[in-house]
Structure 1
């Protein structure tokens, strides 16, 4: 009897489950559930308004993903609960929530339903930028070594600034929270009934180091007296490495999901990181970009190097035995969607409707007729700040070169090219600091569905681009780790390399750079880099001044 493993991928707007045959590696069925509450960036469910740069989520949406998708894939695959060897999950990060000792989210309690800091702070919650700035200043003043491991800056997207924001804005919520926990670990808790913490999110998002642990209590006290014992009182020093078993499905979780009580559950993982083995990467020098609403760039290395602007380097953070490097771009697919929703003229919408295509397809078709450099445009891809290599959410987007004859498809192409230039900036920064990038892989919805975008990436970075063979690489990677938690004796695997040999997928199609296009993009990238450094490294902080004025006016 064949055994199966299930991977559940929690994204920004939806969650999906995939069920995979551990014998053949076939992805038998997929189910998707959209979050009913989506991203709350204007108000809470009761109407309580939110400030600038907030991004919250509702924990019930995550439970609904388990309730809907796992039974669906089992039914579609005609698989019984007894045939499921293990379950793995991945999540966006840092996505963090305050909970009681038993795991109850504070936002589930009546007294906290109208308190924004009691809700889940999504990865792209940027309202803790003031705290991040102050944290970085204090760390520099104290000579904290950890800053260099994170490219010189801790991001407002990460755990400690988000917790500090809670202390500053609503200390009652901070005091009421018995634990602050990554949503990745919280959903595993809901399956196993046991609180566990993973080394991946701790290392990349909470300033933890395999050999040095967390920063000292003195450092946390320097941030705020209430935070002196944050780690021991509201986090945990007990962490489990990725690829290990967190526990087993409880009776309550079995009723929720339809799984068999006792089914193995893997330690939580991060969406980007878990995708690495899904494309078969188990050795250094190969970068994977997961391209969606944002992009995460993952890379394995043999040694620990300090790379400016990276999101972090964690020993065993992705695959045991290697140093896992992370970088990223905060706005990619969101970038293109913003333009379609806000800047497309009526005649383009009418043409798309008449032809029965969506606006992205129409703009892609028109933009593909342009040659590199033909538009005379250059954009900075900072519509949602810059994650790497500047680590600054207060930077904003910009387009240079527009005239009265500039067309929508020219702007659309320039925005795509800007994200490719941002990826090249990340690659070159790694290589300039001794971390080689020999091969480039891409996964995610854009990589899967848009050949035009991927050819631009190949031309801009002047490298071959290999594409994930699975349209749901994170869920597939999670399924691999679910099988690893089960073990070979129970129908799974005993190492991630064994799992990758059976389950990993890469398409036969490879995008190769066109020499003529690459030569033009070399010239354009030189201009991008000039603008990048001028506006991003302090020569002209106009973007930040404008943002300050906006905040003052909006109150």
Structure 2
């Protein structure tokens, strides 16, 4: 059995969109010795609640918090068994979560969807990060912030997202005021799962800053919230809780959580964190100038800076938001792997409906041979436009267009979107010298080379297939006192393969020409040249309005 020689271990738990993964890691060197995955029983609730009832309106995405507890009950013991590690050798546990994934609870942390009389009300459930139905509420928050010259709006690139706490909270108030009133807490799932582990309510500085509009020690003022809606004046009080820096100890593992996980009661539980942000430590990407792109269903881009910079359209800049002692800048794309998956599952013909086959065929093309440009907005635009009512587009289709042509154009579109983000950072004074890529998409060699060519930067690859879980384990080691800070733990436990993909000069020049066309389309359809995408979204929503109205009648 591992651990008999006195080695110490930590557990990292990564909560993704569809499943949770537990990873057992050796403290001394970050060696990954055991892992297990548990798929959420309910997945993403986009059609209706688990017990049935009316159809959910468009752009809703909910989850069941019991699925999160099941990850602790199933994946953690299975990972320990896979590692053959004596649980007594485990000194800490850390977790990370998708964000902004948020839920209303009672004062003791009980989710409102678990209160029997509220279970049938959609607004009582967890709102997943890709719940985009709060776009009109985000628009109102942005408009009022600019009208009042609120000082915090520039820290978010001029626009806060429909995915974030305040937009979702305002939607909750205005569509189900009774559930809003019953919600004594409105809490990120990243903090809620820590609450479940140690029976102590805490808030982490990362989600509070990036998703909760907390800047310079405060949330938006009561006057601002009251101007949005008089009933919204108390919203910041629902976000109260001890605010702790990343890598801190939130508390000891409770007896209840020890029974779930098989871990010793009393070990350190690290403060909650975001899946993308913990990955920076796992990828040894904490130094300024090194951007980490965590690529999965969506992509999050994070880069530390020595000082705050206001970058138009970014997700935010937060003091200590990625690691202590630096200003963490974040941007992102709402759809990446999801776009490729959509094409394979919904549009590719029989015989070609696999990523492997389409990649093989697409890789044989010279740059630009397909004659296509795509816009990567299948799930809206997170950065730089911050508008989730936008949609995808492919230009240049002809009767000669083949499935592999479209597939490659979709791959390229996400690289173009990343280049837009990088250029915005650089223009605002935030250096981006190289990229480190993490996530499941790193296995696609064509995609990685496209990113190196489009961005004209070397690409390193994280040396772990489980970047977020490893990052959470690194933070657990710090919380347990094994390392003095996250930087030291990252040096010892993180890993990266440097410069695996280098830009090809010929491809760089060819992609510069295509990128110019992408940027023209991006600005025309995303910056008001033609709002056809928004009009089409309104027509679609009107066509399915009856089911949506039925839901609101039930919950109102």
TM-score relative to the length of structure 1: 0.96
Query: How far apart are the structure 1 equivalents of 2:29 and 2:493?
Result: 7
Query: How far apart are the structure 1 equivalents of 2:71 and 2:32?
Result: 19
8 Å contact 2:425–2:432 — kept in the other structure?
Answer: yes
Query: What is residue 262 of structure 1 aligned with on the other side?
Result: 266
Which deviates more, 72-81 or 118-127? 72-81
Query: How far apart are the structure 1 equivalents of 2:351 and 2:448?
Result: 28
Q: What is the CA distance between 1:493 and its match in structure 2?
A: 1.2
Q: What is the CA distance between 1:315 and its match in structure 2?
A: 0.5
Q: Specify which of 141, 158, 163 is matched with residue 135 of structure 1.
A: 141
Q: Specify which of 467, 470, 487 is matched with residue 473 of structure 1.
A: 467
8 Å contact 1:231–1:237 — kept in the other structure?
Answer: no
Q: What is the CA distance between 1:419 and its match in structure 2?
A: 0.1
Query: What is residue 511 of structure 1 aligned with on the other side?
Result: 501
Q: Specify which of 408, 411, 424 is matched with residue 403 of structure 2.
A: 408
Q: Specify which of 63, 66, 89 is matched with residue 60 of structure 1.
A: 66
Q: What is the CA distance between 1:76 and its match in structure 2?
A: 1.7
Secondary structure of 2:352's counterpart equals helix
8 Å contact 1:381–1:422 — kept in the other structure?
Answer: yes
Q: Does 1:486 align with 2:480?
A: yes
Secondary structure of 1:346's counterpart equals coil
Superimposed CA distance per residue, residues 489-528 of structure 1 (whole angstroms, 9 cap, x where no aligned partner):
xxx2111122112111112661011111111000000000
Alpha carbons of structure 1 residues 509 and 150: separation in structure 2 relative to 1, 3 Å: closer
Q: Does 1:72 align with 2:78?
A: yes
Query: How far apart are the structure 1 equivalents of 2:236 and 2:86?
Result: 41
Q: What is the CA distance between 1:24 and its match in structure 2?
A: 2.8
Query: How far apart are the structure 2 equivalents of 1:242 and 1:465?
Result: 27
Query: How far apart are the structure 2 equivalents of 1:362 and 1:536?
Result: 33
TM-score relative to the length of structure 2: 0.96
Q: Specify which of 364, 367, 375 is matched with residue 370 of structure 2.
A: 375
After superposition, residues 273-422 of structure 1 pair within 5 angstroms as 273-349=277-353, 359-422=354-417
8 Å contact 2:102–2:165 — kept in the other structure?
Answer: yes
Q: What is the CA distance between 1:238 and its match in structure 2?
A: 3.2
Query: How far apart are the structure 1 equivalents of 2:283 and 2:352?
Result: 37
Gaps of 5+ in 1: 350-358
Query: What is residue 97 of structure 2 aligned with on the other side?
Result: 91
Query: What is residue 123 of structure 1 aligned with on the other side?
Result: 129
8 Å contact 2:282–2:493 — kept in the other structure?
Answer: yes
After superposition, residues 520-531 of structure 1 pair within 5 angstroms as 520-531=510-521
Query: What is residue 355 of structure 1 aligned with on the other side?
Result: none
Alpha carbons of structure 1 residues 519 and 137: separation in structure 2 relative to 1, 3 Å: same
Q: Specify which of 147, 150, 153 is matched with residue 156 of structure 2.
A: 150
Q: Specify which of 171, 183, 189 is matched with residue 165 of structure 1.
A: 171
Q: Does 1:29 align with 2:29?
A: no
Secondary structure of 2:244's counterpart equals coil
Q: Does 1:432 align with 2:436?
A: no
Query: What is residue 533 of structure 1 aligned with on the other side?
Result: 523
Gaps of 5+ in 2: 1-5, 546-556
Query: How far apart are the structure 1 equivalents of 2:187 and 2:253?
Result: 20
Structure 1 runs of 4+ aligned residues shifted over 3 Å read none
Query: What is residue 352 of structure 1 aligned with on the other side?
Result: none
Query: What is residue 42 of structure 1 aligned with on the other side?
Result: 47
Superimposed CA distance per residue, residues 296-334 of structure 1 (whole angstroms, 9 cap, x where no aligned partner):
000000111110000000011111110000000000000
Q: What is the CA distance between 1:74 and its match in structure 2?
A: 1.3
Query: How far apart are the structure 2 equivalents of 1:293 and 1:178?
Result: 32
Superimposed CA distance per residue, residues 335-373 of structure 1 (whole angstroms, 9 cap, x where no aligned partner):
000001111113435xxxxxxxxx110101110111110
Question: How big is the alpha-carbon RMSD for the aligned residues of Structure 1 and Structure 2?
Answer: 1.0
Secondary structure of 2:369's counterpart equals coil
Query: How far apart are the structure 2 equivalents of 1:476 and 1:238?
Result: 25
